């Protein structure tokens, strides 16, 4: 009964934002409600859980708020500089460079800061709406991949390094870079090339554009509050799913685990990492599990913090993200699956 209930919640989290426009627009509240339902169904409510859910979003929210305030007061200066760069390089080359740079730098400046920088640059490019959405989705895939290369980039990598720091792997700061670079670097490069092809139209085209207006100061605070609620809901949702994941994850092959981790599209990948990655796994199992989490995290808005930040700031609803994000993610997972089969 419990398993069936959790699977039903997972189906609702996956489908309702895509099928019901209102749910997609109020994704923060919806995920909070679904997370609370999952924790209730699995009887996991406790004071430590509530404390964790209250504390975990604080750093992310603070980063979003501080960066939002900086961009609010420096926006005109930044946009003029970015416009000069676009004129010199051209929109297509700038888009490709943007996707690759935010991906590679995210492991050093954190995925959150990379996403905030991405949003401001994309806004200053004044792209047609469809082009803007596609470019942002590709860039968030890139951030999700690149941030995993160091424990500084995102919680997933921090947790993985921590859990593998002892016997037999003795994972250090560069452990994930050594194990994942041959997948991540080509993936980021491919996404950069993809950005060239999505930039078929530029500023001034007949395609629909969102009218740019100065962001009010209160909107900066509202966005930060929404991020807080979003992350709070993801903590609850991940906790609710943890028993099911822990029960079945280690009983499947590494290739099955790779595909099973496509649930990262709707669940916090840091929670999944904490549940799945243990020192008793073989290295090829660890690599497959992490790659599944990293790639799938870009497919839907809840999959990654960068997605949440970018979608919220640029008002990209869950359905619009999925229309492009799901096909891109499935192609990437298919290509990665072939490589995993060949090398193992």
206 in a domain, yes or no?
no
Token code pair at residue 220:
């900066």
- 186-213 residue pLDDT tens: 999 999 999 999 986 544 444 454 455 5
d(CA 314, CA 309): 9
Closest listed residue to residue 64, CA positions, set 265, 303, 312, 237: 312
Question: Which SS3 state, helix, strand or coil, does residue 237 take?
Answer: helix
Other C-beta atoms closer than 10 Å to the C-beta of 53 total 21
Q: Where are the alpha helices (DSSP H) in 26-174?
A: 27-41, 47-89, 91-109, 111-125, 129-146, 155-163
Question: Which SS3 state, helix, strand or coil, does residue 202 take?
Answer: coil
pLDDT at 251: 67
- Per the structure, the count of domains in the chain is 1
pLDDT at 335: 95
pLDDT at 204: 45
Question: Which SS3 state, helix, strand or coil, does residue 304 take?
Answer: coil
pLDDT at 214: 64
| Phi, psi (rounded to 5 degrees) for 213 | -140, 150
Give the chain's end-to-end CA distance (angstroms, integer).
Answer: 37
97 in a domain, yes or no?
yes
pLDDT at 205: 46
269 in a domain, yes or no?
yes
- 6-53 residue pLDDT tens: 889 888 887 887 788 788 778 788 888 998 998 999 899 999 889 988
pLDDT cut 90: percent of the chain above it: 35
227 in a domain, yes or no?
yes
- The parent domain of residue 145 ranges over 2-201+213-343
208 in a domain, yes or no?
no
| Helices 155-163 & 269-276 angle (0-180, nearest 10) | 10
Whole-structure pTM value? 0.80
Closest listed residue to residue 337, CA positions, set 298, 291, 297, 270: 291
232 in a domain, yes or no?
yes
189 in a domain, yes or no?
yes
Q: Residues of the chain whose pLDDT is less than 70?
A: 200-215, 245-246, 248-251, 268, 271, 274-275
207 in a domain, yes or no?
no
d(CA 304, CA 271): 12
Closest listed residue to residue 277, CA positions, set 163, 179, 189, 184: 163
């Amino acid at each position: 009964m419990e398993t069936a209930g959790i699977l039903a919640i997972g189906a609702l989290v996956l489908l309702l934002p895509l099928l019901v426009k209102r749910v997609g627009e109020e994704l923060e509240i919806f995920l909070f409600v679904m997370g609370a339902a999952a924790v209730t169904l699995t009887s996991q409510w406790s004071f430590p859980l509530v404390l964790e859910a209250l504390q975990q979003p604080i750093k992310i929210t603070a980063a979003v708020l501080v960066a939002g305030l900086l961009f609010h007061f420096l926006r005109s200066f930044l946009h003029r500089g970015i416009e000069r760069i676009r004129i010199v390089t051209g929109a297509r080359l700038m888009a490709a460079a943007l996707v690759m740079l935010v991906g590679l730098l995210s492991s050093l400046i954190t995925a959150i800061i990379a996403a905030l920088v991405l949003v401001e640059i994309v806004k200053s490019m004044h792209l047609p709406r469809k082009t803007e959405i596609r470019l942002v989705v590709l860039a968030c895939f890139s951030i999700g991949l690149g941030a995993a290369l160091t424990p500084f980039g995102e919680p997933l990598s921090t947790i993985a390094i921590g859990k593998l720091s002892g016997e037999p792997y003795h994972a250090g700061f560069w452990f994930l870079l050594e194990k994942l670079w041959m997948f991540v670097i080509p993936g980021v490069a491919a996404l950069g090339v993809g950005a060239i092809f999505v930039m078929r139209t530029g500023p001034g085209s007949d395609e629909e554009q969102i009218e740019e207006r100065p962001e009010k100061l209160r909107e900066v605070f509202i966005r930060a509050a929404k991020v807080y609620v979003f992350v709070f809901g993801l903590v609850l949702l991940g906790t609710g799913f943890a028993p099911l994941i822990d029960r079945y994850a280690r009983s499947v092959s590494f290739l099955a685990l790779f595909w099973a981790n496509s649930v990262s599209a709707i669940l916090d990948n840091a929670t999944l990492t904490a549940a799945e990655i243990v020192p008793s796994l073989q290295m090829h199992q660890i690599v497959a599990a992490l790659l599944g989490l990293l790639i799938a995290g870009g497919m839907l808005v809840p999959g990654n913090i960068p997605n949440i930040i970018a979608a919220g700031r640029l008002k990209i609803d869950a359905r619009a993200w999925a229309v492009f994000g799901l096909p891109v993610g499935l192609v990437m997972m298919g290509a990665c699956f072939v490589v995993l089969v060949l090398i193992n």
